[in-house]
């Protein structure tokens, strides 16, 4: 069964990669005259003011979400891939895609699932240390995902098949 889960996560990662590959279509290739900004968000007013509010963790930026993340939530594989502000997620047999959006100075995931599921459509970043990403979804679910190297699954996922 664990090998089946690992295979399922690998398949989910492939679907995420293919989904994101289709997100950037339609580029005419004519970028002349366009401003090439870094894509880094501008500091918010609360960060500039130096007030009593705690500034967001420096790793909580849209750029820090880039890459592939995978983990298990309630015994089911969850895979998230973020590239150039576009996001794709596979969780609990649902395939969702959308974008990383700035919501009041904080990046959030805004997704729409192909089957209409709403469990993971608006997600806030609880923490991100570059290795582990913790997301809280408006639907009540909380995911803890590990950053994956391209083409690899995190070590935390089960790999053995249990004996009957």
Q: Please state the separation of Cα 135 from the chain's center in Å.
A: 9
Provide the greatest CA pair distance for the chain: 64
Residue 107: what pLDDT?
93
**pLDDT tens, residue order, the chain (164 aa):** 444 444 454 444 544 444 444 444 334 444 444 443 344 444 433 344 443 333 444 447 888 899 999 999 999 999 999 999 999 999 989 999 999 999 888 999 999 999 999 999 999 999 999 999 999 999 999 999 999 987 666 565 555 655 66
Q: Token digits for 79?
A: 């895979």
**Could you tell me the CA-to-CA distances from 25 to 18, 33, 61 in Å, in that order?**
12, 20, 25
CATH class of 2-22+58-148: mainly beta
Q: What stretches of 70-127 show up as alpha helix (H) in DSSP?
A: none
pLDDT digits (tens, 9 = 90+) for 50-85: 433 334 444 478 888 999 999 999 999 999 999 999
C-alpha to C-alpha distance for 40 and 49, rounded to whole angstroms? 19
SS3 40: coil
Q: Where are the domains of the chain?
A: 2-22+58-148
């Amino acid at each position: 069964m664990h090998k089946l889960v690992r295979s399922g996560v690998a398949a989910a990662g492939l679907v995420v990669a293919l989904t994101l590959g289709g997100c950037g279509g339609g580029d005419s290739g004519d970028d002349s005259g366009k401003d090439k900004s870094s894509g880094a968000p501008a500091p918010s007013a609360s960060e500039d003011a130096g007030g009593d509010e705690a500034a967001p963790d420096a790793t909580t930026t849209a750029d820090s979400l880039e890459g592939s993340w995978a983990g298990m939530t309630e015994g089911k594989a969850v895979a998230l891939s973020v590239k150039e502000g576009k996001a794709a997620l596979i969780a609990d047999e649902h395939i969702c895609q959308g974008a990383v959006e700035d919501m009041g100075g904080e990046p959030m995931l805004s997704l729409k699932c192909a089957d209409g599921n709403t469990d993971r459509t608006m997600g806030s970043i609880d923490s991100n240390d570059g290795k582990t990403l913790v997301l809280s979804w408006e639907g009540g679910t909380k995911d803890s995902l590990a950053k994956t190297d391209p083409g690899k699954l995190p070590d935390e996922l089960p790999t053995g098949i249990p004996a009957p």
